[in-house]
Amino acid sequence: MYNASHDAKPSQNMSAIDPAYSAELKQIKLIVERELMPLEPLLLTQQWEALNHALADARKKVKHHNWWSTHYPTAMESYSMYLTALLAEVIGQSPLGHYVFGWQAPDIGNIELLHDHASDPIKTQWLNPLKQGDIRSCFAMTEPDNAGSNPTLLSTTAVSDGDDWLINGHKWFTTSADGAAFTIVMAVTHPEADKHQRASMILVPMDNPGLKFKRNIAVMGHQGKGYFSHAELSFENCRVPKSNTIGQAGHGFKLAQQRLGPGRIHHCMRWIGIAQRCFDIMCRHVKNRAVTPTQTLADQALIQSKVADCFAAIKAARTLVLNTAQTVDKAGFDAARFEISMIKFHTAQMLQKVMDTTLQCLGALGMTDDSIVAYFYREERAARIYDGPDEVHMLSLGKQILKTY
């Protein structure tokens, strides 16, 4: 079977990959295919308890192989963006992959954040168990009454009260808040400051009495549960010590930007993994689907041209994202600023096109949960919205480019 992503030569052209790493990726791919994909029906049918049990087992196996990546920040030195991007693609082919390998958002972002900016007591109390996967966390930034695409628009406030902050506000789309041990909340602490210096990041344990868990928001038909959920939270005179501030007070916006950088490349590679999985499903389906006694869908010109179109779209996005990862490795995130904005919308649009084409080629089957495609189609529609809608990225990139002329 031809696999556009992994058997193809491009990645090897782009930079020499250590054969040991390459072998490891293949092994990981097998784990994803053989051990995680069979668990997906539990996710699709909301069998949370059985799912959690199975995922815990899978995590053990991953740790046993030493693939558990809560050692990530340390590994940053040795693992390049390029190499981790390749990993993100492989484990991203299943919606369970990132969780099982200890790479799941929002924990991974919080780990990097706390690793770089938290005090020692916070590291001891929260970071260490988080890295081990013993607890989960969340990140409360988006607010229902403010456009998420403009993080300088925040209504949540943290008012100084002696050694404490008193936090009040309303958050939603707080991914994985259900069952988390703590959240990091973005709140305005310096309302008079410049708009990029108003907010701070503050760690709040989820059992703080001033933090109300209101609901898991139903997204595309499901509220989800535990890790697989997005919550609405309310902060009502929520009191926490100022020592819970992450980094400096007023630096919230800056830290949020830093937090998103590596995430964008990994998101893109996860999407490419999903696109590739859909593509494989499409190709296999059309080869097997008889339309006449002697022909399958694969013999039809309209199908062939869709396959070619998707193939080119996946390859173009993949080459572009890996190239951006290499730019980051060689010249840092600042040098890749344009490209990172670009790959966000370019890859998300490619993903939607490939998912949609696959669903169409599957016909009625594509609408059902008998394949994973319908799940990707509805859940990953968010790719063009979360982390800044396409339009915001396009305007921002367009402006930056035009400044250089």
Contact of 86 with 26, CB cutoff 8 Å: no
Residue 181 vs 307, nearer CB to a second copy = 307
> At a CB cut-off of 8 Å and minimum separation 6, what does 196 contact?
152, 253, 254
Residue with tokens 């080629």: 361
Which letter, b or e, does each residue of 29-45 get, where b requires 16 or more Cβ atoms within 10 Å of its Cβ?
bebbeebbbebbebbbe
- Distance in Å, CB of 236 to a second copy, minimum: 21
Residue 269 vs 283, nearer CB to a second copy = 283
List beta partners, residue 186: 201
Residue 157 vs 300, nearer CB to a second copy = 300
Alpha-carbon distance of 88 to 347, in angstroms, equals 14
Q: In Å, how far from its chain's centre is CA 175?
A: 11
> At a CB cut-off of 8 Å and minimum separation 6, what does 120 contact?
none
Q: 251: how many CB neighbours lie within 10 A of its CB?
A: 18
List beta partners, residue 239: 166
- Distance in Å, CB of 370 to a second copy, minimum: 7
On the question of a cis peptide bond just before residue 151, with omega within 30 degrees of 0, the verdict is no
Residue 117 vs 270, nearer CB to a second copy = 270
Contact of 174 with 139, CB cutoff 8 Å: yes
Residue 185 vs 246, nearer CB to a second copy = 185
Residue with tokens 């800044």: 388
Residue 97 vs 388, nearer CB to a second copy = 388
List beta partners, residue 185: 140, 202
- Distance in Å, CB of 355 to a second copy, minimum: 10
Longest dimension (CA), the chain: 80
Angle at 106 between CA 206 and CA 112, to 5 degrees: 100
List beta partners, residue 204: 183
User: CA nearest 135: which of 183, 96, 97, 87?
Assistant: 183
Residue 112 vs 339, nearer CB to a second copy = 339
- Distance in Å, CB of 172 to a second copy, minimum: 8
Alpha-carbon distance of 361 to 289, in angstroms, equals 10
Residue 111 vs 336, nearer CB to a second copy = 336
- Distance in Å, CB of 23 to a second copy, minimum: 20
- Distance in Å, CB of 347 to a second copy, minimum: 10
Q: 354: how many CB neighbours lie within 10 A of its CB?
A: 27
Residue 122 vs 333, nearer CB to a second copy = 333
- Distance in Å, CB of 354 to a second copy, minimum: 13
- Distance in Å, CB of 393 to a second copy, minimum: 7
- Distance in Å, CB of 36 to a second copy, minimum: 20
